[in-house]
Structure 1
Amino acid sequence: MTGRVALVTGAGRGIGRAIAQRLSGAGCRVALVARDRDQLEETAERCAGPTTVIPADVTDPDAAERVHAGIERSWGPVEILVANAGAGHSAKLERTTDADWQRMLDLNLTAPFRFVRRAVPAMREAGWGRIVVIASTAARIGEPYIAAYTASKHGVLGLVRSAAAELARTGVTVNAVCPGYVDTPMTGQTVENIVATSGRSPGDARAALERKQPIGRLITPDEVADAVWFCVGSGAVTGQAINVDGGAVQ
């Protein structure tokens, strides 16, 4: 992988930072994308090799074109795309507004679609490419109070499967990694929401999330990065949804 050009969205913290570090440590040149420049700079400092920091809001309709074009000018086409940027939302169905619904679709489904669409032509022409979308166990099952989030993640898994089928003979693989509850700021926000709505203590709320996974703990960002690296390294694995959830979904 030495010298391969990789792009990681949502690279400012959490899972995205761990993925960027893994790719960089393997010799890739890594473009780091997120909204917060300071967080991206911190990720860059932790990477072992060349990086470029590109602040961008991936929900901007022009973001995919602008980000890819900038990388191409400096390094050439993106060869490894990890679409990691995402967010969650929790509310009862009747309290989920149109704005909540649209925000989940824009960030978790439409943005990955645009980045995948922009990356594919160069990968197809080169006869090699790796696309990994960070989905969720919510792409596999439904749970209460996360209808908008679940719908967006089910949708992105459909995108992955269709793209994988279309690109199967081109040397380009497309996979999804589906984490459970990971020890990240996003899960911290989930804990805060549970505390606010249930009156539980933060410790009890966190323990409830840990119990959702048979291994009895949260997943680490590095464990998600392991699964991404597996997808990047294999040319025979495509169209898959790889669960990293401690055995919760079988």
Structure 2
Amino acid sequence: VAQRLAAAGAAVSLIGRDAALLESRAAELDDSHGCSAGAFPADVTDPAAIAGALQRAAGLLGPVDILVNNAGFGASQPFAKMTAEHWDGMLSVNLSGVFHTTRAAIGGMLERRRGRIINVASTAGITGYAYVAAYCAAKHGVVGLTRALAREYAKTGITVNAVCPGYVDTDMTATTIETIVKKTGRSAEAARAELAAGNPQGRLVTPDEVADAVLWLAGDGAASVTGQCIAVAGGEVMP
């Protein structure tokens, strides 16, 4: 997503917990695209830290006109054995993190009467999956928040949308495959094939495909698109 936005000419602020990784990615963006890129370490579950990071980003790179809420964490647990810690962890990153970051950015967008808020949710925000009730609840919350804010800010020049990927070929999916292997004894290849089979196209989604959807929603051509949840999942769900 950062690469797509940088290639389109945006100044890109990267926020996350791993300062060294953020610095490395920012340097790559600068080298590859010649854009202004900055690293601003913060945890999305910490409202004060997120507000401070966005303030620093705006001070160095200019107003935050495009906000992409892409932080996420997934883990499985049978509901009957689910702990409060598991539940709280899923909601704090996947849902409350979107709230904290959006609340920190929305004031400046309202002042300028323009903005794009793009929440990376999941097909788990549109349908249900076994053993990930907390994750599904959090992502459904992101979808609901997206729709509510789209209505609330429809006349302000701000659009709010969600991109809902299926299983994407990322480290998060690799972790899911490892969990399946440990719990079922199946091979990694079989576990990967099982996840891919859930997509009618018979494959995992690529990160580039998700990034392209985000880039379109960030552009002028999507000015009339708000409150939408765009599934990037090969037809697995049709909201």
Q: TM-score, normalised on structure 2?
A: 0.95
1:213 deviates by 0.2
Amino acid at match of 1:243: A
SS of alignment partner, residue 56 of structure 1: coil
- The farther-off stretch of 138-147 and 69-78 is 69-78
Q: Deviations over 1:177-200 (max 9, x none)?
A: 000000000000000000011110
Summarize the alignment of residues 162-181 of structure 1 with structure 2, pairs less than 5 Å apart.
Answer: 162-181=148-167
Counterparts of 2:49 and 2:94, CA distance in 1: 14
Find 1:74's aligned residue among 51, 57, 60: 60
Q: Which residue of 2 aligns with 1:121?
A: 107
Which letter maps to 1:22?
A: R
Which consecutive segments of 4 or more residues in structure 1 shift more than 6 A? none
Distance 1:75 1:208 in 2: 43
Q: Count residues in correspondence.
A: 232
The amino acid across from 2:141 in the alignment is G
Distance in 2 between the 1:223 and 1:80 partners? 19
Work out which of the residue numbers 87, 93, 96 in structure 2 matches 1:107. Answer: 93
The unaligned stretches of length 5 or more in structure 2 are none
The code of the aligned residue for 2:95 comes to L
- Whole-angstrom distance in 1 between the partners of 2:232 and 2:133: 21
The Cα of 1:142 is off from its aligned counterpart by: 0.6
SS across alignment from 1:203: helix
Deviation at 1:38, TM superposition (A): 2.5
Matched residue of 1:214: which SS?
coil
- Alpha-carbon distance in structure 2 between the residues aligned to 1:29 and 1:91: 39
Residue 242 of structure 1 pairs with residue 224 of structure 2: no
Q: 2:38 is matched with which residue: 52, 60, 66?
A: 52
CA distance in 2, matches of 1:36, 1:121: 27
**Counterpart amino acid of residue 194 in structure 1:** I
User: How far did 1:230 drift?
Assistant: 1.3
- The answer to whether residue 14 in structure 2 is matched with residue 26 in structure 1 is no
Displacement, 1:94? Answer: 1.4
2:170: which partner in 1? 184
* CA RMSD between the two structures: 0.9
Give the Å deviation of 1:205: 0.3
| Residue 159 of structure 1: how far off its partner (Å) | 0.6
Contact 1:21 1:46 (C-alpha < 8 Å) held by counterparts? no
Amino acid in structure 1 at the alignment position of 2:235: G
Structure 2: distance between partners of 1:246 and 1:111: 27
Counterpart Cα distance in 2 of 1:201 and 1:46? 35
Question: Aligned letter for 1:146?
Answer: V
Q: Give 1:69 shift.
A: 1.2
**2:76 matches 1:90:** yes
Q: Displacement, 1:75?
A: 2.6
Deviations 1:83-135 (CA, angstroms, capped at 9, x unpaired): 00010010110121000000011000111111111111111111110000000
Q: CA deviation at 1:40?
A: 1.5
SS of the aligned residue for 1:28 comes to: coil
TM-score, L = length of structure 1:
0.91
1:4 alignment counterpart: none
Match 1:35 to one of 17, 20, 30: 17
Q: Structure 1, residues 192-238: CA drift from partner, whole Å, max 9, x if none?
A: 00001111000100010010101111101010001101111111100
SS state at 2:47 partner: coil
Q: Which runs of 5+ in 1 are unaligned?
A: 1-18
